[in-house]
Structure 1
Amino acid sequence: MLRNFGRQLASFGFVLALAGIVAASATAGASAQAIKTVAEEAILIEGSTGAVLFEKEADTQMPPSSMSKLMTVYLAFEKLKDGVITPQDEFEVSEPTYRKWRLQGSTMFLNAGDRVTVHDLLLGIIVQSGNDACVVLAESLAGSEEIFVEWMNAKAKELGMNNSHFTNVNGWPDEDHYMTARDLATLTQAMIANFPEYYPMFAERNFTYAGIPQSNRNPILYSMEEADGLKTGHTEAGGYGLTASAVKGGRRLILVLNGMSSEKVRARESERLLTFGFRNFDIYPLLKAGQVLDKANVWLGETDQVSLVIENDVTLSLSKQARRKMKAKVVYDGPIQAPIVKGQPIATLEITSSDMKTITLPLVAGENISELGGFSRLKAAFNYMLIGSSGQGDD
């Protein structure tokens, strides 16, 4: 049986995400995909819901370069939150680490024998992208870089980053070291949600160590007042990349781009895509947990109808231009056979729109309904055969 639910839902339209159920959604479709990017890999998501507003080759394994340092930072934040370390703890720079990384790529300019606080090492990674800082942090926390890398891969699996693999802690080029744009967005979403007390470090624009001042390479920190993170990356194989986030009007967007040809292009594309997301999409609370959406007919029950209830809050992240295209209907095979237990899945809510995969949500029984017995059962069955009612007789 199909039951239209257009009165409340028809005015909404495009990307669905379920608050409190999953951090995923349908892809935005034609309206969102109208924008293009020169980045080889890209994804733009709604931070609160995980709804995908735009993507391009988001599941392609790519060299993440220094953007993979976000996992190194994530694990350090986790140790801080768990009380294993404090920001004031000092770690010593070993001679081998100094010799290997003093001239290899981005550096914090650590010297052998330096005792550096966890706080400064984190800023050395976040602001200065120090390869040396990553290794010192990893060796001090895990005993060796190799063990820390094992932690990174384990954490990736735990977070659902199924297309990522780490071989080092700083993103140094290696054919077996890869991530995807979607996995970087997943990591960023977890970073922001799990470590609100430490995340503001990503907004720091400048940091000085050993008398050498360095500026944050994240271009949107300077071009967008709403921006508050996260991390750039660059290698010959991967091109120029950026994992970024910004908040405007209470909404957070997360953007990952990679494979661009220059710093200038990276800066332009990042600002353009974030602006596009804020301008063309919004989030809309749609349904509240426990809300009754319809009633279904009951066969041989003590009452002839049962409430159809949505179990969790539902929030839409959607294109403003497509709000009027969305349709929804309640679907069930009826009448529903009694007995029925409260919370029992008995129907679905289907939400559709052009260029969007159908979203199907379970609807459950809102109350217990016992089965009729004896003479009442026979009478209800006879009435149904005679007048086609749900078993009790309809007015």
Structure 2
Amino acid sequence: MLFVSLAAAGIVLGSGLAIAQIPAPARPVALSDALPIPDAPAPKVSKAWVLLDAATGQVLAGDNIDTPVEPASITKVMTSYVIAAEMAAGKVKRDDPVLMSEHAWREGGAATDGSYSGFEVNKTAPLVEMEKGMVVQSGNDAAIALAEHVAGSEEAFAQLMNAYAKKIGMRNSHFVNPHGLSTEGHVSTAHDLALLGRALIHDFPEAYSYNKLKEFTVGPITQPNRNLLLWRDASVDGIKTGHTSRAGYCLMASAKRGDQRLISVVMGDTSENQRAVDAQALLNWGFRFYESHRLYDVGKSLATPKVWKGAADVVKVGVAQPLLVSTPRGKYEHLKASMDLPKSLVAPIAKGQRLGTVKVMFDGKPVAQAPLVALEAVEEGGFFKRLWHELLMWWQG
């Protein structure tokens, strides 16, 4: 990941400060940098697809990214997220005994002709083992058993799924069950699913790590992970496949090369192999032609606007979270940033108080923005200073 200085982003301050000059590129400009980026290798048959930069959340390429489609077993990534979140909240534990109920066994077991884990009916297994059976083997029975354990029923668990989906920012998704078998009203989008994968990787890395297991054994049955990219590309470490007759072949894949992580989602492909081929092509294209930039770190002062009526005359402002963007390789000098700050800041100002916004543009298009906060507190000045500043503010106003 590249680190770009304040000047490199061409900062313009709303308060009227001068435009910072763009320095020379951090690396020599290659001949290929001047060439246009070729179109992304779009899957030829899929219903929807997207390529997302995991660090920034930016969409690098896609088609029908916000069109609702059936997510099939990629649904289980949402199930994993809910379980991990409820575990973090202390509501369930990794060694909880989870019962493979008769309902879970009948609705999602071997007799259903769908993916199953192999846990015995009316017997328990530790939650973490049941979850691996759901993630690696895509066990529908394990997904139902886990939902019943966490929330009492599939219906109640689906309410949790939708609540967490809203929190993640999945705007066009609605979940009805924990496994992804075709059900009326059970939909998501390529974009939403990529955001979900990003959230699982960031929020619950241990739960995400189960997705790179190539096989899992329950009793005498060993089943392989259906994500073929785990065998084809060492940089791929997840995440989930899906297939039903209505949804087609689906794959959410994630890979990390160096400091850069990308997530591809292909929905409604024609075969198990084709979804892997299409996902691999998107990942290769993204790593070849795009890079992530870390523009501003937490605690770094980006500006010192004037403060009225304060013990100090200025306040340092910066970002509360690192601000990252994605650009075509060799093009970071095309970034421009502006700060939207009030013309008048009046003390007292608390440390961490939001004061404005920094916005980043690439070739005239917005690519990122973040709140600007006070990096220090500014207390009120003395009585006479406040009175004097009051007169000056009146005069200037």
TM above 0.5: yes
The number of aligned residues is 361
Cα 1:87–1:43 shift into 2, 3 Å: same
Give 1:119 deviation, angstroms: 2.9
Q: Which residue matches 1:172? A: 181
What is the CA–CA distance in structure 1 between the aligned matches of 2:230 and 2:178, rounded to whole Å? 24
Give 1:364 deviation, angstroms: 6.9
Match of 1:206 among 211, 215, 227: 215
Which amino acid is the alignment partner of residue 194 of structure 1? D
Cα 1:3–1:204 shift into 2, 3 Å: same
Give 1:123 deviation, angstroms: 1.8
SS of the aligned residue for 2:111 comes to coil
State whether structure 2 residue 40 is matched by structure 1 residue 35: yes
SS of the aligned residue for 2:60 comes to strand
What is the CA–CA distance in structure 1 between the aligned matches of 2:309 and 2:58, rounded to whole Å? 41
What is the CA–CA distance in structure 1 between the aligned matches of 2:263 and 2:301, rounded to whole Å? 34
Which amino acid is the alignment partner of residue 135 of structure 1? I
Could you give the per-residue CA deviations for residues 220-276 of structure 1, whole angstroms, max 9, x where no partner exists? 111110111111011222221111212221322222221211222211111111122
Match of 2:51 among 34, 44, 51: 44
Q: Which residue matches 1:196? A: 205
What is the CA–CA distance in structure 1 between the aligned matches of 2:188 and 2:58, rounded to whole Å? 20
Which amino acid is the alignment partner of residue 160 of structure 1? G
Give 1:345 deviation, angstroms: 7.5
Q: Which residue matches 1:226? A: 235
State whether structure 2 residue 19 is matched by structure 1 residue 5: yes
Which amino acid is the alignment partner of residue 46 of structure 1? D
Q: Which residue matches 2:137? A: 128
- Structure 2 stretches of 5 or more lacking a match? 1-14, 27-34
Q: Which residue matches 1:53? A: 60
Counting aligned pairs with the same residue, the percent is 33
Report if the CA contact (8 A) 2:249-2:267 is conserved: yes
269-278 or 40-49, larger mean C-alpha shift: 40-49
What is the CA–CA distance in structure 1 between the aligned matches of 2:316 and 2:96, rounded to whole Å? 56
What is the CA–CA distance in structure 2 between the aligned matches of 1:130 and 1:350, rounded to whole Å? 44
State whether structure 2 residue 252 is matched by structure 1 residue 280: no
What is the CA–CA distance in structure 1 between the aligned matches of 2:197 and 2:179, rounded to whole Å? 16
- Structure 1 stretches of 5 or more lacking a match? 13-29, 382-389
Report if the CA contact (8 A) 1:44-1:54 is conserved: yes
**Structure 2 counterparts to residues 141-152 of structure 1, below 5 A:** 141-152=150-161
Which amino acid is the alignment partner of residue 289 of structure 2? N
Cα 1:288–1:356 shift into 2, 3 Å: same
Q: What TM-score comes out, normalization by structure 1 length?
A: 0.76
Give 1:150 deviation, angstroms: 2.1
Match of 1:373 among 371, 377, 388: 388
Q: Which residue matches 1:77? A: 84
Q: Which residue matches 1:162? A: 171
Give 1:152 deviation, angstroms: 1.7
SS of the aligned residue for 2:182 comes to coil
Cα 1:347–1:252 shift into 2, 3 Å: closer
Report if the CA contact (8 A) 1:32-1:53 is conserved: no
What is the CA–CA distance in structure 2 between the aligned matches of 1:339 and 1:145, rounded to whole Å? 53
Which amino acid is the alignment partner of residue 211 of structure 2? F
Report if the CA contact (8 A) 1:45-1:255 is conserved: yes
What is the CA–CA distance in structure 2 between the aligned matches of 1:360 and 1:239, rounded to whole Å? 37
What is the CA–CA distance in structure 1 between the aligned matches of 2:130 and 2:295, rounded to whole Å? 44
Report if the CA contact (8 A) 1:138-1:169 is conserved: yes
SS of the aligned residue for 1:113 comes to coil
Report if the CA contact (8 A) 2:98-2:127 is conserved: yes
Give 1:177 deviation, angstroms: 0.3
What is the CA–CA distance in structure 1 between the aligned matches of 2:23 and 2:53, rounded to whole Å? 21
Cα 1:4–1:234 shift into 2, 3 Å: farther
